[in-house]
């Protein structure tokens, strides 16, 4: 029986490469000279440190640009509020991965509401869709691409 998984995964190696490029750009840009601005990655959280909130916004734009050049969907970024401590402004950006149970339930409900003849089940942080016909599965993929769930989806493990 054909099946596929709906997942939301980010290649953290590409995120690391994009951060390295962004750090290189920030250190060479004239408007950031001597400000001590930098990006750091801790787990799945990117920390931005700059002299002002305006520079944080510029750094966030640089980060988004570098991530999109490396084919990392910027929809997976959850941007925190900037905080100013003394002469330093900080901001946290979380790289979200995996589907939480609430989002999985929403996806299952939406797919079942289409009346396409497929079975949908939650398996950890992914949603498995299986059916008798490959065309039905492709129809579900098209339906999910048209909908907005707040996270970018990938369709993995397609088996025939």
Reported as a single tens digit per residue, the pLDDT across 141-159 is 999 999 888 888 888 888 8
139 and 85 in one domain? Answer: no
Please determine, for residue 62, whether its predicted confidence score (pLDDT) is greater than 90: yes
Query: What pLDDT is stored for residue 79 in this prediction?
Result: 93
Q: pTM of the entire structure?
A: 0.82
Number of C-beta neighbours around residue 50 at 10 A: 24
Tell me what the mean pLDDT of segment 98-125 comes to: 89
Indicate the residue among 45, 76, 95 that finishes a domain.
Answer: 95
Q: Final residue of a domain: which of 61, 95, 129?
A: 95
Judgement on whether residues 112 and 130 belong to the same structural domain of the protein: yes
Q: Which pLDDT does position 150 carry in this prediction?
A: 84
The mean per-residue pLDDT over the stretch 117-146 comes to: 90
Q: Please report the pLDDT score of residue 35 as a whole number.
A: 83
Give the number of domains in the chain: 2
Range of the domain at 16: 12-95
Phi, psi of 152 (to 5 degrees): -75, 135
- Among 52, 80, 95, identify where a domain stops: 95
Nearest to 132 by CA among 118, 121, 116: 118
Closest CA to 153 of 89, 118, 106: 106
109 and 143 in a common domain: yes
Task: Report d(CA 11, CA 75) in Å as an integer.
Answer: 14
Mean confidence (pLDDT) of the chain: 90
């Amino acid at each position: 029986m054909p099946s596929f998984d709906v997942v939301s995964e980010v290649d953290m190696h590409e995120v690391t490469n994009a951060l390295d490029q962004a750090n290189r750009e920030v250190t060479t840009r004239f408007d950031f000279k001597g400000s001590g601005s930098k990006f750091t990655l801790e787990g799945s959280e990117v920390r931005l440190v700059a002299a002002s909130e305006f520079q944080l916004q510029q750094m966030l734009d640089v980060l988004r640009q570098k991530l999109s050049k490396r084919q990392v969907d910027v929809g997976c970024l959850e941007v925190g509020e900037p905080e100013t401590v003394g002469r330093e402004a900080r901001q946290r950006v979380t790289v979200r991965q995996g589907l939480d149970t609430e989002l999985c339930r929403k996806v299952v409900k939406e797919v079942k509401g289409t009346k396409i003849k497929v079975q949908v089940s939650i398996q950890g942080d992914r949603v498995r869709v299986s059916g008798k016909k490959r065309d039905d599965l492709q129809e579900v993929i098209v339906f999910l691409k048209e909908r907005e769930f707040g996270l970018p989806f990938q369709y993995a493990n397609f088996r025939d």
